[in-house]
């Protein structure tokens, strides 16, 4: 009797192991065939979509767009963002790093803001960067603006000081505070503050 109970327990444990194995296999297969659905079902805390709103202070252009949805970046939205954050002096358009967009999205959420980012500078061509560096000693020679990895902005309804503190708290890269010029700088380079 004891032997049968022990064998039955071992079979049950084996069946449970097989069941767990099969379930894991099915989830892996579902993830390979339909990763967006799996992410949505397994990670309900992840946002379903990420949106950003921009106003370019130099061109007057506005953009409100969902740039990430169901686990994927929207290429059309990214192209629209690249266009709005172009070098307004030369018209050059370069890709804005999605890591920077995600940092801005996190900052917006941390601030609890519904406001629109007022952009002073997004992408900067090497020519524009050299011009600004010559006329303003505070511009870095190898600025991350030239790589689409930095943006200077303000957020109406949020003080620059509060915005700066929130950006520092995120530890997402470099954060500069320019109250006299009316903007905060964030980039996705190494973590540093000024």
Q: Are 153 and 101 in contact (CB under 8 A)?
A: no
Q: Helix 98-111 crosses helix 75-84 at what angle (to 10 degrees)? A: 80
Same-domain status, 54 and 80: yes
Same-domain status, 87 and 121: yes
The pTM is what? 0.74
Same-domain status, 67 and 139: yes
Q: What is the pLDDT of residues 82-125, one digit of tens each?
A: 999 999 999 999 999 999 999 999 999 999 988 999 999 999 99
| % of the chain with per-residue pLDDT over 90 | 66
Q: What is the pLDDT of residues 30-77, one digit of tens each?
A: 555 544 444 444 455 555 899 999 999 999 999 999 999 999 999 999
Q: How many domains does the chain have?
A: 2
Among 14-18, 42-46, 149-153, the range of highest mean pLDDT: 149-153
- How far apart are alpha carbons 152 and 185 in whole angstroms? 4
Q: Residue 83: which domain range?
A: 49-193
Torsion of CA 22, 28, 29, 33, to 10 degrees: 160
Q: Are 78 and 98 in contact (CB under 8 A)?
A: yes
Same-domain status, 37 and 54: no
Same-domain status, 30 and 76: no
Same-domain status, 24 and 92: no
Q: Is the dihedral of CA 191, 192, 193, 194 positive or negative?
A: negative
CA dist list (Å): 156 to 63, 113, 117, 121: 16, 9, 8, 16
- How far apart are alpha carbons 102 and 188 in whole angstroms? 10
Same-domain status, 31 and 69: no
The residue written with tokens 């700066």 in the block is 164
Taking alpha carbons only, the member of 191, 194, 189 closest to residue 177 is: 194
């Amino acid at each position: 009797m004891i032997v049968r109970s022990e064998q039955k327990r071992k079979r049950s444990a084996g069946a449970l192991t097989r069941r767990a194995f099969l379930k894991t296999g099915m989830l892996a297969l579902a993830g390979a065939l339909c990763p967006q659905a799996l992410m949505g079902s397994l990670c309900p805390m992840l946002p379903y979509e990420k949106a950003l709103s921009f106003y370019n202070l130099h061109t007057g252009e506005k953009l409100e767009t969902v740039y990430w949805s169901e686990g994927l970046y929207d290429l059309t939205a990214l192209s629209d963002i690249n266009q709005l954050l172009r070098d307004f002096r030369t018209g050059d358009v370069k890709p804005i790093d999605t890591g920077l967009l995600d940092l801005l999205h996190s900052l917006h959420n941390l601030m609890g803001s519904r406001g629109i980012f007022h952009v002073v500078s997004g992408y900067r061509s090497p020519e524009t960067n050299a011009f600004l560096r010559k006329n303003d000693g505070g511009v870095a020679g190898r600025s991350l603006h030239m790589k689409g990895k930095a943006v200077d902005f303000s957020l109406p309804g949020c003080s620059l000081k509060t915005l700066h503190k929130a950006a520092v708290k995120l530890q997402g890269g470099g954060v500069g505070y320019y109250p006299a010029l009316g903007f905060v700088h964030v980039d996705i380079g190494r973590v540093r503050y000024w």
